[in-house]
Amino acid sequence: MTVVLALLIIAVVGFVVVFPLRKTRPSPKVAKTGPDDELVSRKETTFTALKELDFDYAQGNLTPEDHEELQKKYKDKALTLLKQIDQQQTRQPASRPSEEGIEAEILRLRKTARKTEPQKAGAAGTAPSSTRQPRATPSPQAKSPCPKCHSQIPVSAKYCPYCGSALKPAVCAKCSTPYTPGQRFCSQCGATLTEEKGK
Amino acid sequence: MASLGSLALFLTLAVSIYATVVSWLGGRTGRLELVASARNAIFAIAGLTSLATFLLLYAFLTHDFRIEYVALYSSRDMSPTYVIASLWAGSEGSLLFWAWTMSIFASILAFHNRNLTNPLIPYVFAVVMTVQAFFSVLMAFVTNPFQTVPFPPPDGRGLNPLLENMGMFFHPPTLLLGYMGFTIPFAFAIAAMATRRLSSEWLTSIRRWTLIAWLFLGVGNILGMQWAYVELGWGGFWGWDPVENASFMPWLAATAFLHSVMIQKRRGMLKIWNIVLIIITFNLSIFGTFLTRSGVLSSVHSFGQSALGPFFIAFLAVGLLGSLGLLYSRRNYLKSEDELDSLISRESSFLFNNLILVGATFATFLGVIFPLISEATRGVKITVGPPFYNQVNGPIFMFLLLLMGICPLIGWRRASRANLLRNFLYPSIAGVVVAVAMIAVGLRQTWSVIAISTSAFVLSTILLEWFRGVRARRHTRQENYFHAFIRLVLSNRPRYGGYIVHLGIIILAFSIAGTMGYNTSKEVSIKPGESLSIGKYTLRYDSMSQYKTARKDVVVANLTVFNAGERIGTMSPEKFTPIYYNQDVTEVAIRSNLEEDLYVILMGWDRIGGVTAFKVIINPLMAWMWIGSIVLVGGGIFALWPERGRRPVRRGT
């Protein structure tokens, strides 16, 4: 009886442990470290500090002067971090193709395929199934539309080569809060916004 | 049954080694199916250790004395409650309990992270399973709880009579849960270093685990204090015994971590320090487990000599050096994101708080290992007693108490002179008024005056902080005082839970100051019919009676108690001699109210002349010790409780 129970326990444990190892589908990968983690963490830390600052001020733990000075310091820091995160995000499309880039790449691959098909047909008897296509790589010339004049421009451009507008987010001159084109007043300080050409 | 139990333990060892290897490989190669296999292995280990625990418990309940551990720690006449508690009465069973609860905690962790999306998880599994494997090795090869005896005795030896208290049912398991619980925060710290994901994300994952372990360890210590007070019969609650210290040290280090972690989360500072604190806390937990079992130091708690010592020392050395080595290799990823704006700020007060807590931990550690150092250097084992700890830790804790009051009222980043004056004026006045009042009424014991006036100062700062929070909320949200208070407290459970814990500490400090500063005791030998007086009480010794049970001979002294001449009741201190143990056990008699405890110990008696010796103690404010403890634990649970409407932490809690 004990031997049967022991074997049963071993069998159940073995099955439970080995079950996930069976090969039914390609192995998914564990998520790897993202490059922005540190920046995002610092941004969150700064935002938390800003919130704490306001609560401390509301409770009377900080004088208005200290509050204003420290708030400015942390807002500047938050802005710098946001800009760094934005820069990282705008750099990412260079390594990841845009929609236009993907379409251009598909077109190129189709053309290549059409060219190689007659060759394959001529070389009948070989093993075409084992022939591997070259891996699609993003085009270095990937383009995206300019937010102002909608011309197709390189994704890495800092200024539009057609209308000259700056491709970095515009910021309020008074409080440095980013704003979108067409906005007339700052959402944070209420200051009138003036478009700075070619900034 | 014993062979099945042993099989479960050997399988646990094999599967935990397998889980360690495959989860680590899964992390290195990114192959999720390996990590999934490790996750399932954790579930299987929970099943195996549960089976082993159930089998041992079954052996206890059926009095299967073929198993040596059952014969040593239980007997047929024991009540089922104590039979269950016998499971952790010895080294073997307590290690099994450690391994079992470890596997349950690991399974909860694995279940929460069953989709394996958190990149830290493979390494967390690997570390937790390494610890599990270590305890399995001990049980499988050194102290197997299923060891059988060739000639089973007809009855067992029974539980040590000192352990026959309800404290036995709760104190050891809560302490063991506390020790064991720090494995998971430690595993996350190692995983964060291994993966170089050292932003604040891993801290979010371990907050709840750390609080749970801290709470269990705190509850375990409090229950130990209460048990010592009612059972050991010396009138105190904390004797700075090496094993008491062993459970106090990781609690102090974890308290330091719970504070400094806030600085990292808010300011991105103290990253290396936080990892060091987690490493220290975990290793102190293992050290505590080792101290009870190694037999290197004599203690009321220890299990006696065993062969476990070298295994624990090797494990501690590998754990400590390995984790510190990993920390050194990752130092470039742990740079501070900010710097102190001012020395007079909440950050700096947190920093002082950390230094003090770690200082107290170190001083206690030094006291614990001093006998070993003195034996190694001078050949004589010199033990340091309560005077050393009281002299060193007393002022340290007093300063800590003061910081507890200063910290909430200093704003983050900096505090100006005007701000300090405005925030500390009223609390300082409260502290001074209390000190003056105490001196005026004749309570002039220096340390008690300092402690109680500081407690008043800290209490005022907490109340002021709450009042200002309510006022700010009332002003911005147009709520009435009651709603503003409730919503303020519920809006940030960790913060206000922390304040409740501080309230508990203040009450404890108040009680300790009263008990240690103003206790009075008297030892007298009197005959039946005679009386003794202490403070406002008079105790008349009426008679002595005896009775016998199946397991013990009991002697009871009957006393009538008068308060300022008015009869208020009777007290019956006892002393009994267990049949199977050659030691007398004292059962004290206690009359308790909010003002003081009247504590009577039956010391001994002359069988011929009828002269009986009593020790009578008045412990002022003792009841506040247990009230403060309840508040402290309540605050911890409040901080731990999930916030309503807020989703649990994104990945891996």
The number of C-alpha atoms within 13 Å of B125 and in the hemisphere containing its C-beta is: 40
Asked if the Cβ–Cβ distance from B411 to A56 is below 8 Å, we say yes
Report the gap between the CA of B427 and the closest CA in chain A (Å).
14
Q: What is the pLDDT of residues A71-111, one digit of tens each?
A: 888 888 888 888 888 877 776 554 454 555 566 666 766 66
> pLDDT grade, residue B53 (50/70/90)?
very high
Residues of chain B found within 8 Å of residue A53, distances taken between Cβ atoms: 411-413
Q: What is the pLDDT of residues B87-105, one digit of tens each?
A: 888 888 999 999 999 999 9
Surface of B (11-30) touching A: CB under 8 A: 11, 15, 18, 26-27, 30
Q: What is the pLDDT of residue B283?
A: 95
* Alpha carbons B164 and B169: distance in angstroms, whole number: 9
CA-to-CA separations, A64 to A56, B255, B400, B413, B418, in angstroms, rounded: 11, 33, 30, 14, 11
Report the gap between the CA of A13 and the closest CA in chain B (Å).
6
Of A148-157, B161-170, B333-342, the range with the lowest mean pLDDT is A148-157
Q: What is the DSSP letter of A193?
A: P
Are B339 and B312 found together in one domain? yes
pLDDT > 80? residue B268: no
Are B158 and B208 found together in one domain? no
Q: What is the pLDDT of residue B52?
A: 95
Of A109-118, B184-193, B392-401, B605-614, the range with the lowest mean pLDDT is A109-118
List of E strands, B44-83: none
pLDDT > 50? residue B562: yes
Q: Which of A6, A41, A49 sits opposite B4 (nearest CB)?
A: A6
Asked if the Cβ–Cβ distance from A2 to B3 is below 8 Å, we say yes
pLDDT > 90? residue B502: yes
Q: What is the pLDDT of residue A105?
A: 63
Is B205 contained in some domain?
Answer: yes
* φ and ψ at residue B14, rounded to 5 degrees: -60, -45
Structure tokens at B21: 């290897």
pLDDT > 70? residue B186: yes
Range ranked top by mean pLDDT from A161-165, B167-171, B518-522: B518-522
Tell me, what's the ipTM? 0.72
The DSSP-derived string for B588-616 is -EEEE-SSEEEEEEEEEE-TTT--EEEEE
Asked if the Cβ–Cβ distance from B201 to A59 is below 8 Å, we say no
> pLDDT grade, residue B610 (50/70/90)?
confident
Is B409 contained in some domain?
Answer: yes
pLDDT > 50? residue B42: yes
The range of the structural domain enclosing residue B205 comes to 172-404
Could you give the dihedral angle defined by the CA atoms of residues B251, B256, B261 and B263, in that order, rounded to the nearest 10 degrees? 160
Are B184 and B294 found together in one domain? yes
Q: What is the pLDDT of residue B125?
A: 95
Report chain A residues touching chain B, CB-CB < 8 A. Answer: 2, 5-6, 9-10, 12-13, 16-21, 27-33, 37-38, 40-42, 44-45, 48-49, 52-53, 55-63, 65-66, 70
The number of C-alpha atoms within 13 Å of B409 and in the hemisphere containing its C-beta is: 29
> pLDDT grade, residue B390 (50/70/90)?
confident
Structure tokens at B64: 């299967």
Q: What is the pLDDT of residue B51?
A: 94
Residue B67, SS3 per DSSP: strand
Q: Which of B33, B197, B412 sits opposite A52 (nearest CB)?
A: B412
Q: What is the DSSP letter of B145?
A: T
Q: What is the pLDDT of residue B606?
A: 85
Name beta bridge partners: B31. Answer: A29
Q: Which of B4, B37, B195 sits opposite A5 (nearest CB)?
A: B4
Determine which of B6, B28, B266 to mutate to test the interface with A (most A C-beta atoms within 10 Å): B266
Residue finishing a domain among B117, B144, B164: B164
* Alpha carbons B115 and B651: distance in angstroms, whole number: 10
* Alpha carbons B10 and A191: distance in angstroms, whole number: 73
Element (H, E) at A103: helix A99-122
Q: Which of A6, A42, A65 sits opposite B337 (nearest CB)?
A: A42
Q: Which of B411, B465, B475 sits opposite A62 (nearest CB)?
A: B411
**Mean pLDDT score across all residues of chain B:** 88
Determine which of A30, A41, A68, A74 to mutate to test the interface with B (most B C-beta atoms within 10 Å): A30
**Mean pLDDT score across all residues of chain A:** 67
pLDDT > 80? residue A30: no
Of A82-96, B27-41, B272-286, the range with the lowest mean pLDDT is A82-96
pLDDT > 90? residue B12: yes
Structure tokens at B331: 């130092």
Are B66 and B132 found together in one domain? yes
Are B366 and B435 found together in one domain? no
CB-CB contact of B601 with B584 (8 Å): no
* Alpha carbons A149 and A165: distance in angstroms, whole number: 9
Q: What is the pLDDT of residues B307-341, one digit of tens each?
A: 788 889 999 999 999 999 999 998 888 887 767 76
Range ranked top by mean pLDDT from A187-191, B181-185, B578-582: B181-185
The label of the residue with tokens 């049954």 reads B1
For range A18-23, the mean pLDDT: 81
Q: What is the pLDDT of residue B651?
A: 42
Asked if the Cβ–Cβ distance from B469 to A59 is below 8 Å, we say yes
pLDDT > 80? residue B176: yes
Residue finishing a domain among B404, B422, B450: B404
For range B256-266, the mean pLDDT: 86
pLDDT > 90? residue B187: yes
Is B646 contained in some domain?
Answer: no
pLDDT > 70? residue A26: no
> pLDDT grade, residue A136 (50/70/90)?
very low
For range B506-523, the mean pLDDT: 92
Interface residue B418 vs chain A (CB under 8 A)? yes
Residues of chain A found within 8 Å of residue B51, distances taken between Cβ atoms: 9
Range ranked top by mean pLDDT from A172-176, B80-84, B372-376, B508-512: B508-512
Residue in B6, B315, B316, B322 with CA at minimum distance from that of residue B148: B6
Structure tokens at A147: 């937010």
Surface of B (392-411) touching A: CB under 8 A: 409-411
Are B280 and B420 found together in one domain? no
Residue B560, SS3 per DSSP: strand
> pLDDT grade, residue B165 (50/70/90)?
confident
Asked if the Cβ–Cβ distance from B422 to A38 is below 8 Å, we say no
Is B131 contained in some domain?
Answer: yes
Contact residues for B560 (Cβ-Cβ < 8 A; gap 6+): B539, B540, B542, B567, B569, B570
Are B412 and B394 found together in one domain? no
Q: Which of A9, A44, A66 sits opposite B7 (nearest CB)?
A: A9
Q: What is the pLDDT of residue B177?
A: 94
Interface residue B478 vs chain A (CB under 8 A)? no
Q: What is the pLDDT of residues A58-70, one digit of tens each?
A: 777 777 777 888 7
Q: How many domains does chain B have?
A: 4
Q: What is the pLDDT of residues B196-216, one digit of tens each?
A: 888 777 887 788 899 999 999
Asked if the Cβ–Cβ distance from B43 to A30 is below 8 Å, we say no
Are B500 and B554 found together in one domain? no
Q: Which residue has the higher pLDDT, A108 or B441?
A: B441
Q: Which of A28, A49, A55 sits opposite B267 (nearest CB)?
A: A49
Of A28-32, B199-203, B522-526, B546-550, the range with the lowest mean pLDDT is A28-32
Residues of chain A found within 8 Å of residue B476, distances taken between Cβ atoms: 58
Residue in B409, B73, B162 with CA at minimum distance from that of residue A61: B409
Could you give the dihedral angle defined by the CA atoms of residues B42, B48, B51 and B53, in that order, rounded to the nearest 10 degrees? -80
Q: Quick count: other Cβ atoms within 10 Å of Cβ B642?
A: 12
Q: What is the pLDDT of residue A34?
A: 47
* Alpha carbons B383 and B396: distance in angstroms, whole number: 21
Residues of chain A found within 8 Å of residue B31, distances taken between Cβ atoms: 27, 29-30
Angle at CA B481, nearest 5°, toward B476 and B484?
55
pLDDT > 50? residue B436: yes
Q: Quick count: other Cβ atoms within 10 Å of Cβ B462?
A: 20
C-alpha distance across the termini of chain A, in Å: 85
* Alpha carbons B213 and B203: distance in angstroms, whole number: 15
Q: Quick count: other Cβ atoms within 10 Å of Cβ A198?
A: 9
Q: Which of A17, A32, A42 sits opposite B37 (nearest CB)?
A: A17
C-alpha distance across the termini of chain B, in Å: 37
Ordered by start, the domain boundaries in chain A are 169-199
> pLDDT grade, residue B653 (50/70/90)?
very low
Residue B559, SS3 per DSSP: strand
Q: What is the pLDDT of residue B380?
A: 80
The number of C-alpha atoms within 13 Å of B245 and in the hemisphere containing its C-beta is: 26
Is B270 contained in some domain?
Answer: yes
Residue finishing a domain among B114, B146, B164: B164
Q: What is the pLDDT of residue A156?
A: 65
> pLDDT grade, residue B76 (50/70/90)?
confident
Are B500 and B397 found together in one domain? no
Asked if the Cβ–Cβ distance from A30 to B27 is below 8 Å, we say yes
Residue A178, SS3 per DSSP: strand
Asked if the Cβ–Cβ distance from B43 to A21 is below 8 Å, we say no
Are B587 and B635 found together in one domain? no
Is B176 contained in some domain?
Answer: yes
Q: What is the pLDDT of residues B146-156, one digit of tens each?
A: 999 888 888 88
Is B602 contained in some domain?
Answer: yes
pLDDT > 60? residue B346: yes
Q: What is the pLDDT of residue A129?
A: 38
> pLDDT grade, residue A133 (50/70/90)?
very low
> pLDDT grade, residue A126 (50/70/90)?
very low
Determine which of A7, A59, A67, A80 to mutate to test the interface with B (most B C-beta atoms within 10 Å): A59
* Alpha carbons B390 and B421: distance in angstroms, whole number: 33
Surface of B (164-203) touching A: CB under 8 A: 195-197, 199-201
> Percent of chain B scored above 90 by pLDDT?
52
* Alpha carbons B544 and A134: distance in angstroms, whole number: 100
Residues of chain B found within 8 Å of residue A61, distances taken between Cβ atoms: 409-411, 415, 419, 423, 468
Is B645 contained in some domain?
Answer: no
For range B385-409, the mean pLDDT: 88
* Alpha carbons B256 and B278: distance in angstroms, whole number: 10
Structure tokens at B459: 């209490």
Residues of chain B found within 8 Å of residue A28, distances taken between Cβ atoms: 32
pLDDT > 50? residue B138: yes
Residue B23, SS3 per DSSP: helix
Asked if the Cβ–Cβ distance from B30 to A49 is below 8 Å, we say no
Residues of chain A found within 8 Å of residue B32, distances taken between Cβ atoms: 27-30
Are B176 and B87 found together in one domain? no
Structure tokens at B282: 């975990």
Residues of chain A found within 8 Å of residue B426, distances taken between Cβ atoms: none
Are B619 and B633 found together in one domain? no
Residue in B517, B516, B522 with CA at minimum distance from that of residue B535: B522
SS (H, E, C) B88-135: HCCHHHHHHHHHHHHHHHHHHHHHHCCCCCCCCHHHHHHHHHHHHHHH
Report the gap between the CA of B511 and the closest CA in chain A (Å).
31
